[in-house]
Amino acid sequence: MKRLLSLWLVCGVVTLPVGAQSYPTKPVRLLVPFPAGGGTDILSRALAQKLADKMGQSVVVENRPGAGGTIGAEAGAKAAPDGYTLLLTTSSTHSIGPAINPRIPYNVETDFTPIVYVANSPQIILVPVNSRAKTLREFIDYARQNPGRLNYASSGNGTISNLATEVFKAQSGTFLVHIPYRGTGLSITDLVSGKVDVLFDSLVSGMPHVKDGKLRALAVTSPKRSALAPEMPTVAELLPGFESVTWFGIYGPRGLPADIVARVNQAVNAALADSDLKDRFARLGAEPTGGTPEAFAATVKAESAKWKKIIAERKITSN
């Protein structure tokens, strides 16, 4: 992936049109459809700082949480197509949301302009430090013996934290009561205090709480162990085939001029190639991706098909 990104940066640089060369002439808003403190917010702020350097203008992160990311995503879709309002979004709003809620107020394929695939990150299974479960096996065994006694938090109905946990329940034969929040960052206090029993959180936002000793991590949801925590087992080691990875990407509204798309895409790819940002992403548990708008659109399409199949098979609803 890193080699492909480097080759793309070397071979893909072209002379941009005059309009793109003058853009931006004022600060750019980067909408984040989740609350401050969550994984998407943390990653977006790290990116915004470097992106500002590459674009020569401030990039201001603006949180628009609510409805599982739908409110912020809709705001991004309805923004003026001038490049001064961009949307950093995730699997929840653009792969899962449309598959689980046919009444979602935007169409991923027609209401947005894909710009760049920013990064991906597995989730991490978190429990309170006073949880009786020291391992994932112990958690599953206790949950099986006590159906309905344990609960789990999510960033809202139909979000990836919700769906990943529901798939986990189905594959592990457990029953956990769902408590939706407006973002996983808002559930951390209740998880630390023990009011919530488990959370499938992004590695980006979850790992710092583990390092601080506030929470215990049981496993990661990637197919292979994470380089950030190689001692931590994967869910797939107990439940073969289990996988849940969050993607992060930048969209513009429909009708965003091609020269501005190219300008932002080039700036983000340059930021992702920066060694400091790579290190910051690694500490957050995210792997930079980058690439072309077309490659990003293809990734989202494939992810959407995967989650649509899971939602249908598990009869998962947004209610």
User: How many residues can be counted in the chain?
Assistant: 319
Between 1 and 42, where is the model more confident?
Answer: 42
pLDDT at 43 over 50: yes
CB 28 within 8 A of CB 55: yes
Q: Report, in this order, helix, strand and coil percent for the chain, each rounded to 5.
A: 45, 20, 35
Domains along the sequence of the chain with CATH: 2-121+245-314 (3.40.190.150), 122-237 (3.40.190.10)
Segment 210-248, tens digit of pLDDT: 999 999 999 999 988 887 788 999 999 999 999 898 899
The dihedral region occupied by 109, where left means phi > 0, alpha psi between -120 and 50, and beta the remainder, is alpha
Segment 52-66, tens digit of pLDDT: 999 999 999 999 998
pLDDT confidence band for 306 (50 / 70 / 90): confident
Taking residues 66-77, report their average pLDDT. Answer: 92
pLDDT of residue 18: 45
pLDDT of residue 168: 96
- Dist. CA 233–CA 219, nearest whole Å: 5
pLDDT at 249 over 80: yes
Name the percent of the chain lying above pLDDT 90: 66
Which of 27, 47, 44 has its CA nearest to residue 35?
44
pLDDT of residue 319: 64
Taking residues 55-80, report their average pLDDT. Answer: 95
φ and ψ at residue 258, rounded to 5 degrees? -60, -35
- Dist. CA 130–CA 78, nearest whole Å: 45
For residue 303, give the amino acid letter: E
- Dist. CA 221–CA 122, nearest whole Å: 5
- Dist. CA 12–CA 266, nearest whole Å: 9
CB 94 within 8 A of CB 308: no
CB 161 within 8 A of CB 69: no
Segment 17-42, tens digit of pLDDT: 444 568 999 999 999 999 898 878 98
For residue 296, give the amino acid letter: F
Lowest-confidence pick of 34-38, 69-73, 136-140, 143-147: 34-38
pLDDT of residue 246: 86
pLDDT at 162 over 80: yes
Taking residues 190-206, report their average pLDDT. Answer: 93
pTM of the shown model: 0.76
φ and ψ at residue 305, rounded to 5 degrees? -65, -40
